[in-house]
Amino acid sequence: MSGFHVVVLVKPVPDPGCYDRVEIDPATGVLARQGMPSVINPSDRHALEEALVLQERHGGRVTLVSMTPESSAETLREALAMGGDEAVILSDRAFAGSDSLATSRVLAAGIAKVAPFDLVLAGNESADGGTVHVPSQVGELLGVAHLANVLRLEVDPDGSVRARTRIENGYVEVVGALPMVLGVRREINTPRYTSLMGVMASQGKPIRVFGAEELGVDRSGVGMEGSNMRPGKLSRPSFRRKGERVKGDTDEAVARIVGILRAEGVLG
């Protein structure tokens, strides 16, 4: 076997460094994210890194698949500068408003389009939504084994897999065989820096775009219409408290804190 075909799911997200600027439009109740630059979802970079390590070890191909508007092609190009052979954008107006399961349907159709595949790697969660649903749901829809919370991965040339997944205060070692869909956590590796060579190479890498028609997805199962989950009201959670300034020097401040501890019954 000459290596594996690894598909990496990549999502352009609004830059998490700008989430302080997220506002809710009071008139429409809709999220306003203007002026927020788009970046590759941070945990997807770890998925891509893991794919590149496998490619270096075993050969084979790496394909990036992303459900995102065509306008995000530049963000995909940035991912290709890190590595990978080609990218596929799944873009259609019909996909707008998809919940995690509807999104997974589109992604599964995109993966089928670039099949055969051996392994699908995804970031465990997206920075904006953070459901951790997509790896499991894509696995279910493709009918292959899947794991989330992957901390460590070994794939042998014969396709046997040993993965370590996180549990509370520990980990589990799981064995299985390709094909598989895995959601990786950021502890798994340190993504490489993009080199100038990588940037130059990315210019020549193909980015194909597929819509609902080409993917052959049933429109009743995607987008807002095809989503079982419906959003209600959006709000900004408020954690505001009285914010009383404690006056005075260190001794006075300490005396005040001791007073609070005693008043709450946790000291003295």
Is 149 among the residues that bind another protein (CB under 8 A)?
yes
- The site map against another protein for 67-106 (x = CB under 8 A) is --------------------------------xxx--x--
**Is the Cβ–Cβ distance between 137 and 25 less than 8 Å?**
no
Is 1 among the residues that bind another protein (CB under 8 A)?
no
Is 32 among the residues that bind another protein (CB under 8 A)?
no
68, 75, 165, 189: which one binds another protein (CB under 8 A): 165
Q: What part of residues 111-130 is at the interface with another protein (CB under 8 A)?
A: 127-130
CB of 37 to another protein, least distance (A): 15
Is 152 among the residues that bind another protein (CB under 8 A)?
no
Nearer to another protein, 47 or 81 (CB): 47
d(CA 8, CA 48): 6
Is 224 among the residues that bind another protein (CB under 8 A)?
no
CB of 84 to another protein, least distance (A): 26
- Cα torsion 112, 136, 132, 164: sign: negative
Nearer to another protein, 2 or 158 (CB): 158
Q: Provide the Cα torsion 225, 226, 229, 233; round to 10°.
A: -20
**Is the Cβ–Cβ distance between 151 and 166 less than 8 Å?**
yes
Which residues are CB-contacts of 151 (< 8 A; sequence separation ≥ 6)?
164, 165, 166, 171, 185, 187, 188
Is 28 among the residues that bind another protein (CB under 8 A)?
no
Residue 268, SS3 per DSSP: coil
Nearer to another protein, 116 or 232 (CB): 232
The count of residues interacting with another protein (CB under 8 A) is 80
**Backbone dihedral angles phi then psi of residue 119, each to the nearest 5 degrees:** -145, 140
Is 241 among the residues that bind another protein (CB under 8 A)?
yes
What distance lies between CA 124 and its chain's CA centroid?
Answer: 6
